[in-house]
Chain A
Amino acid sequence: MVNTKDLEAHFEFECKACENGRCAKADVNSILSERKGLRDFYEAFKEHIKGCKRMTYGQYQFVIDREVLPEAVLWWHNHPEFKETHLSTAVGTDERPLNGHFVYMPFLNVQVEFANEPENYWVFLRTYLLADDPSFPSVAEKLPAALWIEREVKDLLGFKPVNHPDPRRLILPEDWPEGVYPLRKDMDYRHSPITEPKVEFKEKPEDTTLVPMGPAHMGIEEPAHFRLFVKGEEIVDVDYRGFYSHRGIEKTGEGRLTYNQVLFLAERICGICGYQHSVSYAMAVERLADVDIPDRARYIRTLLLELERIHNHLLWVGIAAHMVGYDTGFMHAWRIREPVMWLVERLTGNRKQYGMNIVGGVRRDILDYRKEEILKVVKQIREGTKTFLDVALNTNTFIKRAEGVGILPYKVAKAYSVLGPTARASGRKIDVRKDQAVKTATAYNEIDFKVPVYKEGDVLARVLVRMDELFESLWMVEQLIDQMPGGDIMVPIGKLPEYEEALGFTEAHRGEVVHYVMTGEKNKVYRWKVRAPTYNNLPAVPEMLKGYHVADAPLIIASIDPCYSCTERVQFVDVNTGKVKVLTEAEFNELSIKYKGVF
């Protein structure tokens, strides 16, 4: 709801282009000299680079030819100096209405040096694909991290990754017809056709038998279908088919909602890490609208993010215990977690889906008596978790099950660009909270915390990483309460600039959440790409499973803390409600048109 006061406020608001770094007038040379590695890349691919711009602070975009796409991606991914650089994901956009081309844009998280915010940055490699032939050379066989990304754009936009090793359908359901691409602009978001289902699965290896885990299996909370090819108890090979809960949220967001409504939709991408998504989205929009939100808002956001991390890690360790039948651990972990939920309920008004964010700030303030509450709960949690860990890590059987199981070596983790605690348990030293510049959305740059990293890469290591993070988060919460500045909690944002793009990101408890937003006309979102951490972690799970028992499978799968609904995103609005909405929407439109000419 925008009214004139907001608009005026917005107009007074002076441009902080220079610090904020999205300056339209910046020329290529100055851009290239801003960060290490940019110029090298420019030199390496001079003749293929068509353009280069700074999208916003610490986010650079090169327009390159599609022929050199694999080389360019690999140039960054296997950069000799920037060890932990990884392919974050790719965005496919249908920009035919704008310039008659498709756009395929992989982007990488370039880590020049760990925890060096001003130096690290994001690189977007934008390639234009012809409208009649949207094909591009596949990087997947050299870089497994791109396997799903390319399959996804193949499904949703009809791009053709040339000689992709595994060009099966990834996202769309079996009974979705060929040649209908939901994310193309010429398809209405209510249209969901159906044909004869056709499925394609991996071939069964010799003299093995089949154990299907899921879609509905006790060891998996959400629908996901692992095909274990086993010899007795031993897993020989694995095939994965997921996206049973694909809900096409991006289309919905692009289809009909205003940018503030999308915020609430984003929060409901996931039941567990919803706030991370909403913060990421808000961050993206604020970045492209060039807004600095008040400090108090940043602190409140960070506080809630960390509280969410705390209770998510407790929840996860509970589930891990449950997977190996250690129900006492499960119950106690969740008992310890519960006060956080109550606390958050009091802070925001809900246990989950806080609804706390608004583009440009937060909606509720943290009052002093609540601060006491928080400190009390933090103390409680710290003690509770300490005792819990003492018990759990001294439970011989539990350790037996977790130790040396589901090992993910560093190389594989890097190749699949695995994220978050899973990666840190395999020795990857990455954490966007410290790596990338977050200072305009959250307050991580102003508080002190460590990033635990383990080398073993087995399930036990993942448990320990998460537990260490949990204690770090508690310590962070205390700092935030301590340092919380006063002042306003939101700045109103009026009209958004059109066709600007920016990236928002947070380190969810599973890894980096990435929201790419490109605005359209009248405060709508033209393209909104969500990438949850599980999207990068899940393809590595079959690698972890091979060679272990069927008995280990649930634990291993759970050990990456998979969130299928995050990964697979929201369903198409079902036709009926869609109709209702359309009716009213149509009426509103004509009404507004009528009222234009009142008197």
Chain B
Amino acid sequence: MAESASYTEKLKRWDRFKAEKFSKKAPVTTPYPFIDIEKPPEYRGIPHINPEKCIGCGACVNACPPDALIMEWDKEHGVKRLTYNAARCIRCARCIEVCPTGAMEPTTRFEVATDNKEDLVEVVEHKLAYCEECGEYLDFTERQIEYVRNILPKDVFDAYALEDRIKLTQEEKMRRTVIKLRETEGNVYPAFMLVRETKDDGGEE
């Protein structure tokens, strides 16, 4: 993971004996629950979803081995719900690696004991984009679209005229594609483009 200068300094200076009020001599045990134990900075604690950064692309959900991260669609209310359950988490930090926006933030928290399981669950709800034409909800969120807008270079947008088509349902897109193909028949190039595009977008989604 990225290590800024101050961070590495911190790493170098970090001393367990200081941090946990150990004495170097006997006794080596600590009255643990009564003092708070500080984990080293490298420690992979419970990840935390930063709702500001999260775009709800679901990359983390793909990567997560134990299904601690779950994504659900709620087309009625136009909501895409990303649920993180620390009780199932194995702290492998794969989600942090794959997150495109760094919304999954590493922490050094390790105490998950609680009498109420709700405390272990983080839920982030995203508003789904809706189709400009038919007004029904799309499968991806506003933020995803924003993100795509930001990362894709302008010319690509123009080239594929994404600007006006990005917020459309599949069917609508299909229809338009067909129309477009009709307009420029005999020329397969746009269709090939489309395939490439989908790949790009798919990557983001």
Knowing A345-B42, A350-B91, A598-B201, say if A1 contacts B98 (CB, 8 Å).
yes
- Docked Cα-Cα span, A596 to B202, in Å, equals 8
User: 1/0 contact trace for B147-179 toward A, CB 8 Å?
Assistant: 000000000000000000100001001100100
Q: Does A353 contact B (CB under 8 A)?
A: yes
Inter-chain contact B198/A1, CB cutoff 8 Å:
no
Q: In the complex the two chains form, what is the Cα distance from A527 to B73 in whole Å?
A: 33
Chain B minimum-CB-distance residue to A351:
B43
Say yes or no: is B16 at the interface (Cβ < 8 Å to chain A): yes
Closest CB of chain B to A489's CB: distance in Å? 13
Tell me which of A264, A345, A363 contacts B40 (CB under 8 A). A345
Bound state CA distance, A451 and B179, in angstroms? 74
Q: Does B28 contact A (CB under 8 A)?
A: yes
Central interface residue in A364, A583, A591, by most chain B CB within 10 Å: A591
Which of B65, B93, B98 is the one whose CB lies under 8 Å from A257?
A: B65
CA distance A598 to B172 in the complex (A): 10
Q: Which of B67, B91, B194, B205 is A355 in contact with, Cβ under 8 Å?
A: B91
- Does B145 sit at the interface, judged by CB under 8 A? no
Interface stretch (choices B55-63, B119-127, B129-137): B55-63
Residue of A nearest to B88 (CB): A577
Nearest chain B CB to A331's CB is how many angstroms away? 9
Residue from the set B16, B43, B67, B201 with the largest chain A CB neighbour count within 10 Å: B67
Is A342 touching B16 in the complex (CB atoms < 8 A)?
yes
Cβ of A195 under 8 Å from chain B:
no
Interface residues of A in 332-367 (CB under 8 A from B): 335, 338, 342, 345-350, 353, 355, 363-364, 367
Q: Choose from A335, A369, A591, A597 the contact partner of B174 (Cβ within 8 Å).
A: A597
A247 to chain B, nearest CB (A): 13
- Complex contact B170–A598 (CB within 8 A): yes
* B90:A594 contact, CB within 8 angstroms: no
**B198 partner residues in chain A, CB cutoff 8 A:** 595-599
Closest chain A residue, CB of each to CB of B91: A350
Residues of B within 8 A of A369 (CB): 8, 11-12
Are A350 and B201 in contact, with the CB atoms below 8 A?
no
B139 close to A (CB within 8 Å): yes
Given the known inter-chain contacts A345-B40, A346-B42, please indicate yes or no for A594 contacting B139, CB distance below 8 A.
Answer: yes
Q: Name which residue of chain B comes closest to A592, CB basis.
A: B202
Does B203 count as interface, using CB distance less than 8 angstroms? yes
Q: Interface size class for chain A?
A: 35 or more
Q: Is B94 an interface residue (CB 8 A)?
A: yes
Max chain A CB contacts within 10 Å: which of B8, B90, B91? Answer: B90
What 0/1 readout, one digit per residue, does chain B (58-92) give for beta carbons within 8 Å of chain A? 11011111110011110000000000000010111
Q: Is the CB of B67 within 8 A of A577?
A: yes
A349 partner, pick from B43, B71, B197, B199, beta carbons under 8 A: B43
Asked if B48 CB lies within 8 Å of chain A CBs, one says: no
Cβ–Cβ < 8 Å partners of A265 in chain B: 65
Beta-carbon contact of A264 and B65 below 8 Å: yes
A-B contact count (CB 8 A): 100
Q: Which residue of A lies closest to B199 (CB)?
A: A4
Within 8 A of B (CB), among A579-599: 580-581, 583-584, 587-588, 591, 594-599
**A268 adjacent to chain B (CB < 8 Å):** yes
Chain B residues in 8 Å Cβ range of A598: 170, 173, 194, 197-198, 201-202
Is there an interface contact between B94 and A264, defined as CB atoms closer than 8 Å? yes
CB closest residue in chain A, given B16: A342
Interface string of B92-127 (1 = CB under 8 A from A): 111001100000000000000000000000000000
Residues of A within 8 A of B143 (CB): none
> Is A3 part of the binding interface, using a Cβ–Cβ cutoff of 8 Å?
yes
Counting chain B CB atoms within 10 Å of each CB, the highest count among A261, A262, A349 belongs to A349
Residues of A within 8 A of B59 (CB): 1
In the bound complex, residues from chain B placing their C-beta under 8 Å from that of A1 are 59, 62-63, 97-98
Among B28, B43, B44, B73, contact of A335 (Cβ-Cβ < 8 Å) = B28
| A580: contacting residue among B8, B70, B199, CB under 8 A | B70
- From 1 to 25 in chain A, residues with beta carbon under 8 angstroms from any chain B beta carbon are 1, 3-4
B93 touches A355 (CB 8 A): yes
A4 vs B205: C-alpha distance in the bound complex, in angstroms? 14
**Complex interface bits, A544-557 against B, C-beta within 8 A gives 1, otherwise 0:** 00000000000000
Minimal Cβ-Cβ distance residue in A for B197:
A599
Within 8 A of B (CB), among A477-523: none
For the complex formed, measure the closest distance between the CB of B10 and the CB atoms of chain A, giving whole angstroms. Answer: 11
Give the Cβ gap from A568 to chain B, nearest Cβ, in Å.
Answer: 19
In the assembly, what is the distance between CA of A581 and CA of B173, in Å?
Answer: 30
CB neighbours of B63 from chain A (8 A): 1, 260-261
User: How far does the Cβ of B61 sit from chain A's closest Cβ, in whole Å?
Assistant: 7
Residue of A nearest to B69 (CB): A584
CB B124 to nearest CB in A, in angstroms, measures 15
Cβ contact within 8 Å between A599 and B65: no
How far is A383 from B73 in the complex, measured between Cα atoms in Å? Answer: 59
Q: How far is the CA of A369 from the CA of B3 in the complex (A)?
A: 14
Q: What A residues does B177 contact at CB under 8 A?
A: 599
B194 neighbours in A (Cβ, 8 Å)? 598-599
| Best-buried of B12, B42, B61 by chain A (most CB within 10 Å) | B42
Q: How far is the CA of A583 from the CA of B73 in the complex (A)?
A: 11
Chain A residues positioned under 8 Å from B72 (CB to CB): 583-584, 587
| Known A584-B72, A599-B194; contact A346-B91, beta-carbon cutoff 8 A | no
Minimum C-beta distance from B203 to chain A (A): 6
- Once the chains bind, are A3 and B203 in contact (CB under 8 Å)? yes
Contact partners of B197 in chain A: CB under 8 A: 598-599
Given the known interface contacts A349-B93, A577-B67, A598-B170, the answer about A587 and B73 at a Cβ–Cβ threshold of 8 Å is: yes
Can you name 30 A-B residue pairings with CB atoms under 8 Å? A1-B62, A257-B65, A260-B63, A260-B94, A345-B39, A345-B40, A346-B42, A347-B42, A349-B42, A350-B44, A353-B91, A367-B8, A580-B67, A581-B70, A583-B72, A584-B70, A587-B71, A588-B58, A588-B62, A591-B139, A594-B139, A594-B170, A595-B139, A595-B205, A597-B174, A597-B198, A598-B198, A598-B202, A599-B174, A599-B194
> Interface residues, chain A, CB within 8 Å of chain B?
1, 3-4, 257, 260-262, 264-265, 268, 335, 338, 342, 345-350, 353, 355, 363-364, 367, 369, 577, 580-581, 583-584, 587-588, 591, 594-599
Return the 4 tightest CB-CB contacts between A and B, nearest first. Answer: A349-B44, A598-B198, A261-B65, A599-B194
19 new A-B pairs (CB below 8 Å) besides A338-B28, A597-B174?
Answer: A1-B63, A257-B65, A264-B92, A268-B90, A345-B39, A347-B42, A348-B42, A349-B42, A350-B43, A369-B11, A577-B67, A581-B67, A581-B70, A588-B58, A595-B139, A596-B198, A597-B198, A599-B173, A599-B177
